[in-house]
Structure 1
Amino acid sequence: MLQPRLLLRRSQQTTPCKYLSIRQNVTRTYATITEPVNTDPTPMLAAAGFAPPAKAEKSSATFAMRTYKPRTPGVRHLKRPINDHLWKGRPFLPLTFSKKGHGKGGRNNSGRVTIRHRGGGHKRRIRTVDFTRMTPGKHTVERIEHDPGRSAHIALLNEEATGRKSYIVAAEGMRAGDVVESYRAGIPKDLLDSMGGVVDPGVLAAKTAWRGNCLPLHMIPIGTFIYCVGSAKERGAVFCRSAGTHAVVISKEDKGSQNRFVQVRLQSGEIRKVSRDACATIGTASNPHFQHRQLGKAGRKRWLNIRPTVRGLAMNAADHPHGGGRGKSKGNVNPVSPWGLPAKGGYKTRHKRNPNKWVVTARERNHGKRRVK
């Protein structure tokens, strides 16, 4: 059995402690990263209206990674995020189905390789995740699970009214026992009555904009962190579904009857207009330290259905435009793909001369025609 220990990625302190039932010393070490940190995605709302929250300042966030004593070369460089809250058993099988076609290896129905570097991999079961979340009412989080088909974790929900179970993408900080709700079907009657029969935007946001709740975008305060963002009224979530991703509500159009869109800044920095009735979940997608993991050995890549990628420079001339030659040489050619397409940006496809300049030759002048050189 592997002996776990928590190892410092870049500094600072070590503290001996005990880890679960393994009676060995465990080293806790911490890494400090600098990134925008928002301690609570739920904005600070006033009782009589809401205002955009203050912009998150850059601060230090410290997290620990789990490493293992190097009993074998394969675990010497293995680093994983610490997710001790995950469910240790099997998934809820009625919401899963077996993934077929593992042996295709990136091939289409005619047997040709259409996606390179695919093949092998462990058997998986697909988790049926609810991205639309149209069912109203309170749902209790039973447990947080690992999903082999995505980088973020998933949460198993139990509908309190009917006992029906469903999977959703878990928010960072969500744990078993939390209660979440969807407001896509409208504002519940009891919530409307508590506001005196009139919708008060500040009170409504204070009672609904909580982590894990799914709301239409027009009900979410400006500046709130959201994930699992939809693009149309009756469509499920399509944006910000990966681990640690989130979007921010930037502005809402206020043009009377033309108020149909909300501007959202996605994780890439793109500002996109989406429907005001599109869905969004409050918070940030779970497992934010997924990007810092290190697989430790090539075999773990093979378990993930990823085959090796060979450099074109290491191939023969018959296999790649960069191949062949004596020594390390790509033949003085620009970087291209195996099929000769430019592989990097900034590739000049036009001549240096002005392509928009009209040049008339004597022969064309006689025929009254022009051509571009």
Structure 2
Amino acid sequence: MAIHLYKTSTPSTRNGAVDSQVKSNPRNNLISGQHHCGKGRNARGIITAGHRGGGHKRLYRKIDFRRNEKDIYGRIVTIEYDPNRNAYICLIHYGDGEKRYILHPRGAIIGDTIVSGTEVPIKMGNALPLSAVISSSTSRKPYALEEACTVWEGVLIDQKDESTSTDMPLGTAIHNIEITLGKGGQLARAAGAVAKLIAKEGKSATLKLPSGEVRLISKNCSATVGQVGNVGVNQKSLGRAGSKCWLGKRPVVRGVVMNPVDHPHGGGEGRAPIGRKRPVTPWGYPALGRRSRKRNKYSDNLILRRRSK
């Protein structure tokens, strides 16, 4: 991702940095409306996400996290902006005429081909199970190739030998990882996210996630090879509060300047201290260092090392 630096013409553009403009032209059959309760509230009107509200109207892009177009080659036609996530998305035209959105893998360009299945090459953007057998030939799929050439106006697929190994090797960078078989990718989907396959034993594979957590995943679950694109999103600096409001994010204020009804730190005359031994959350729990994960959770046995703080 290219970072564009603003010239200092106004105070709001000083030290501002945004990514290069990627336009969005969504297809009607791949978008849907979203029902918003508004301002970070749930269906009962209770605030569940603070400092939310306003923002530009959005349409939801239907992303193919399952990658269930098996053994059918597709080509990247466009790379588009998605207002619902930091990562970019790709429009894929498959050989059977299907069109779907997927997360944009880092380094993928328009015209690249991808495929998902159990015996596919280890190539950026391809989706396969963690225990898949790797194939080095694409000649066994004449239907997919024939259909692809018809849809893509005679453009042939490059049939290079991508890999000659018999299993997904350790150290492979992956993203969009399933936790439950068939449910679709749920891990490592943010911009720049990447996980690493570090071990295999029995029916499980050991992954190191972007947070630093090391956990077990079923070897039958699928993942996409490569890293999610738009890795420089953390270098952006919007420069002014208005740009943040367009994203639906309102100003974040300290608890000590609130009223007592809104926060335990609130109240008092002038600049008053919090009046407690230690800082607490708006719900009265210790704010610094307290673990918030539920005890005796079903997935505790799958986590070999907790994430770093």
**Normalising TM by the smaller chain, what interval?**
0.7 to 0.9
Task: State the secondary structure of the residue aligned to 1:143.
Answer: strand
Q: Distance in 1 between matches of 2:185 and 2:276?
A: 47
* Bigger-Rg structure (1/2): 1
CA contact (8 A) 2:24 2:81 kept: no
- 1:3-18 paired onto structure 2 within 5 Å: none
Tell me which residue corresponds to 1:67.
5
Tell me which residue corresponds to 1:178.
112
Q: Are residues 1:249 and 2:249 paired?
A: no
Q: Distance in 2 between matches of 1:89 and 1:225?
A: 28
Aligned partner letter, 2:245 = R
Task: State the secondary structure of the residue aligned to 1:166.
Answer: strand
Q: Any stretches of 5+ residues in structure 1 without a counterpart?
A: 1-62, 188-206, 254-258, 348-373
Task: State the secondary structure of the residue aligned to 2:198.
Answer: strand
Displacement of 1:325? 4.0
- 1:134-283 paired onto structure 2 within 5 Å: 134-136=68-70, 137-160=72-95, 162-183=96-117, 186-187=118-119, 208-219=121-132, 220-253=168-201, 259-283=202-226
Tell me which residue corresponds to 2:149.
none
Displacement of 1:333? 3.6
CA contact (8 A) 1:325 1:331 kept: no
Displacement of 1:319? 4.0
Aligned partner letter, 2:230 = N
Displacement of 1:269? 1.6
Residue 119 of structure 1 is aligned with which of 53, 57, 79?
53
Displacement of 1:165? 0.4
TM-score by length of 2: 0.77
Q: Distance in 1 between matches of 2:204 and 2:259?
A: 54
Displacement of 1:336? 1.1
CA contact (8 A) 1:69 1:76 kept: yes
Residue 250 of structure 2 is aligned with which of 307, 330, 334?
307
* Percent of aligned pairs sharing the same letter: 39
Displacement of 1:69? 1.9
Q: Any stretches of 5+ residues in structure 2 without a counterpart?
A: 133-167, 292-309
Structure with the larger RCO, 1 or 2 (CA within 8 Å, 6+ apart)? 2
Task: State the secondary structure of the residue aligned to 2:57.
Answer: coil
CA contact (8 A) 2:175 2:194 kept: yes
Deviations 1:206-262 (A, max 9, x none): x60000000110132111101111123322101100010111111111xxxxx3111
- 1:74-89 paired onto structure 2 within 5 Å: 74-82=12-20, 86=22, 88-89=23-24
Displacement of 1:64? 6.0
CA contact (8 A) 2:178 2:223 kept: yes
Q: Are residues 1:337 and 2:281 paired?
A: yes
CA contact (8 A) 1:122 1:303 kept: yes
Deviations 1:105-149 (A, max 9, x none): 122223232322111110001000001111121000001111111
Aligned partner letter, 2:9 = R
Q: Distance in 2 between matches of 1:238 and 1:332?
A: 40
CA contact (8 A) 1:235 1:278 kept: no
Deviations 1:160-180 (A, max 9, x none): 2x2210000110001100000
Task: State the secondary structure of the residue aligned to 2:131.
Answer: helix
Greater share of strand: 1
